Chains A and B, each alone.
Chain A
Amino acid sequence: DQQVKQNSPSLSVQEGRISILNCDYTNSMFDYFLWYKKYPAEGPTFLISISSIKDKNEDGRFTVFLNKSAKHLSLHIVPSQPGDSAVYFCAASEGYGNKLVFGAGTILRVKS
């Protein structure tokens, strides 16, 4: 059973608008969450992370929100740019040890 789920396989957004990518998890012991971006023929690239002691973390155009009670996190990209078109993966870990559990990914297409 998947512990990290990204229920939207794809998302299409107009350039300049907000992109919201969602992720749900089932393991209440997860305490660290990460978002990765992947272009074709490249490995995933780390974007932003959040610890369970926070509910928001912001880095430039990227903001991650964590709702622990709902076991839900989201990545907001504002404003969206065509170069943001990629596959976005949500990942989570429990305690220490760097064992990341990944979601299946969401394909984001930003239209110019």
Chain B
Amino acid sequence: ETGVTQTPRHLVMGMTNKKSLKCEQHLGHNAMYWYKQSAKKPLELMFVYNFKEQTENNSVPSRFSPECPNSSHLFLHLHTLQPEDSALYLCASSQAGLARTYEQYFGPGTRLTVT
């Protein structure tokens, strides 16, 4: 596997379900990100992890819970979601931006539908 992978690619869940999205990067990066893309809206940054530590939570509701066990893996745990949470969830990775901004490399995304 190369680049950034995400599983599952598609997910349908009810509002009472609990599910998790998984992201893995094979690029040797030390920063990882979760983004949300709703229809006809810009990508919205949700969470940033640098060296496994969360450095940014962009006012995301607590029904979204990220986990970064190591620099290569990132999870997004979902529980009691709302229909408006239906969107494309994208994971990305990059070198940690400690002194400058680095380009981010994205996975293919998980298309989430909340029923």
Number of residues in A with C-beta < 8 Å to the partner? 26
> Shortest beta-carbon distance, B97 to chain A, in Å?
3
Q: Is the interface of A mostly helix, strand, loop or mixed?
A: loop
Taking a contact as CB atoms under 8 Å apart, the answer to whether B103 and A4 are in contact is: no
> Shortest beta-carbon distance, B59 to chain A, in Å?
13
Is B90 part of the binding interface, using a Cβ–Cβ cutoff of 8 Å?
A: yes
Q: How far is the CA of A104 from the CA of B39 in the complex (A)?
A: 10
Number of residues in B with C-beta < 8 Å to the partner? 29
Nearest first, the 9 A-B pairs at minimum CB distance are: A43-B106, A98-B97, A32-B101, A102-B43, A93-B101, A102-B42, A46-B103, A96-B97, A104-B42
23 residue pairs of the A-B complex, CB under 8 angstroms, read A2-B42, A32-B101, A42-B109, A43-B4, A43-B6, A43-B92, A43-B107, A44-B106, A46-B103, A93-B97, A95-B101, A97-B48, A98-B31, A98-B33, A98-B48, A98-B94, A98-B96, A98-B102, A99-B48, A100-B45, A100-B101, A100-B104, A102-B43
Q: Which residues of B contact A (CB under 8 A)?
A: 4, 6, 31, 33, 40-43, 45, 48, 55-56, 90, 92, 94, 96-109
Q: Which residues of A contact B (CB under 8 A)?
A: 2, 4, 31-32, 34, 36, 41-46, 49, 89, 93, 95-105
